[in-house]
Each structure stands twice: as C-alpha cells, then as structure tokens.
C-alpha cells in the first residue's frame, strides 16, 4: 500500500507542475515595437497621399510668348485687333522653306498703325457675319526676306523670284502688307479658300477657282478693299496699304 500511495503522490505533483505560467504583461508589450510618436489606438492611421499628389498643378503655358514691344512706327496687331487669330508660319517650320525664318524668334504680328486701324475696321464688319480674321504674316524683318531669296536660289527655285512669289523688296518689310484669311468666329475654323496660304501656283490667284472657295476669296477681298487696302491678284491672302510710306526695318520679333 505504501508503494501505491507513493506513486499516486508523485503523479499529482507532476500534474500540478503543468505548463509554464503565461508571459507577463510587460513581456507582451515589449514584443510589439511601436514607432516613436505613434498612437497606441487600435484604429490604424489612414495612408497619406504621395507627395506628388499634394503639389499644386502647373499653370497653363501661355498661348503666345510675351513679346517685346514693337519699334516706333509699328503697332502690335494682337492689341489693335484683339479678336483676331494668328498662325505666324514663318516663326515655325510650317512654311515653304521648312524652317523658321531669321527674325522670327517669336510669333509676333506688327503693322503700320494705319494698316492696324484698317484691320480693326474689317474685323468689326465681319463680326456681324459671324466671321473673323486669321493673320499669317504682317511686318516682316528684312533679314527674313533675304533668307527667302537665298533659299530660292539655293534650291534652284529662281522661278519663284521671276514670277513674283518671292520678292527681294517687300511691303511687308515696311509693315504695310498683311497675309490673312477668314475664319468662323466662334471656332476659328478657316474658310475654304481652295489653296493654303503661301501656295506658289496659279490656283492661288484670286479668281482662279470656283464655287465656295471663290465666294470666300471674294468676300475677303471685298472686306479689305472696303477699308482702302489693295489686293494682290496673284495671292488671294495678300493685301497692302497703298499711298503710305514707311522705312524698311530689320527689327526681329523676340521675347
């Protein structure tokens, strides 16, 4: 009996030893490392937006670079005819030389003040018809005209000099000529004219086409003649201020 009792007492002692006691609260807290300054709340912080998302949006680029003011004797057509639209081809590669011309460091449009006033008058008349003006070229620096002549000779296109499409002397150099077309006023869409501006062909002559293009050319021509401008029969887009005198200039368009 004593041996049985001894074994029973030993079994009870082992059972009471059981599993080790649970870890203390201090140990549990130490097992989770919290970053300095963080909250102990059970609710996680919402993720922060990337830094780039908080940057302010860039302001839109201006449609036209700020130009220096025109020299004495010329007016800025963007101010004289504020509703007009502009596509200054010689400031880009979108012209017959396939390169920007010297003197067009920025897409400007200056003109003799009398020509600027005439264009403003035309624009006011066209407003009643839902039409407007799109200006391709106005005053042209002398160096740009020289570059045109050099291009024609270098390219074997002296016929353009002989036929008068490229002139060694131009009223543009005096601010007395304008290259222009008509547009739908609300959208700026150019009216059909049969050829593009500066197309060197017989089709560019004002009366060389028929239909809608002919009517649009005649409408442009009539509007310009009404304010005293002289048309160029061989180039439907070209008009000049007659009976005016101004010096040849070589002031570049530049910011």
Kindly report the CATH number assigned to the domain that includes residue 196: 3.30.1380.10
Whether residue 224 lies inside any domain: the answer is: yes
How many independent structural domains does the chain possess? Answer: 1
Mean pLDDT, residues 33-56 taken together: 40
Tell me which residue range forms the domain holding 119. 75-240
Percent of the chain with pLDDT over 90: 72
Whether residue 138 lies inside any domain: the answer is: yes
Q: Which of 19, 121, 218, 235 is catalytic?
A: 235
Q: Which two three-digit tokens encode residue 171? A: 């009223």
Whether residue 215 lies inside any domain: the answer is: yes
Q: Is 235 a catalytic residue?
A: yes
Whether residue 67 lies inside any domain: the answer is: no
pLDDT for 174: 98
Q: Are 119 and 84 in contact (CB under 8 A)?
A: yes
DSSP 91: G
Binned at pLDDT 50, 70 and 90, residue 66 comes out as: confident
Q: Are 123 and 132 in contact (CB under 8 A)?
A: yes
Binned at pLDDT 50, 70 and 90, residue 46 comes out as: very low
Q: Are 235 and 210 in contact (CB under 8 A)?
A: no
């Amino acid at each position: 009996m004593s041996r049985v009792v001894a074994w029973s007492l030993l079994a009870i002692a082992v059972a009471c030893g059981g599993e080790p006691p649970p870890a203390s609260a201090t140990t549990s807290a130490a097992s989770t490392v919290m970053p300095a300054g963080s909250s102990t709340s059970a609710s996680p912080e919402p993720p922060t937006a990337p830094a780039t998302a908080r940057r302010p949006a860039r302001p839109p680029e201006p449609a036209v670079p700020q130009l220096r003011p025109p020299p004495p004797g010329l007016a800025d057509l963007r101010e004289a005819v504020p509703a007009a639209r502009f596509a200054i081809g010689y400031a880009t590669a979108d012209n017959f030389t396939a390169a920007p011309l010297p003197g067009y460091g920025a897409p400007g449009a200056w003109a003799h003040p009398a020509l600027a006033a005439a264009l403003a008058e035309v624009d006011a008349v066209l407003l009643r018809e839902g039409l407007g003006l799109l200006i391709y070229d106005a005053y042209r620096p002398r160096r740009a005209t020289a570059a045109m002549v050099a291009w024609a000779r270098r390219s074997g296109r002296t016929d353009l000099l002989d036929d008068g499409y490229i002139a060694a002397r131009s009223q543009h150099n005096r601010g007395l000529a304008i290259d222009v077309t008509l547009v739908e006023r609300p959208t700026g869409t150019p009216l059909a004219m049969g050829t593009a501006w500066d197309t060197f062909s017989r089709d560019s002559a004002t009366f060389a086409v028929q239909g809608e293009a002919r009517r649009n050319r005649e409408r442009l021509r009539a509007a310009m003649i009404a304010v005293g401008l002289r048309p160029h029969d061989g180039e439907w887009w070209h008009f000049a201020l007659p009976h005016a005198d101004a010096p040849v200039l070589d002031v570049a368009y530049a910011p």
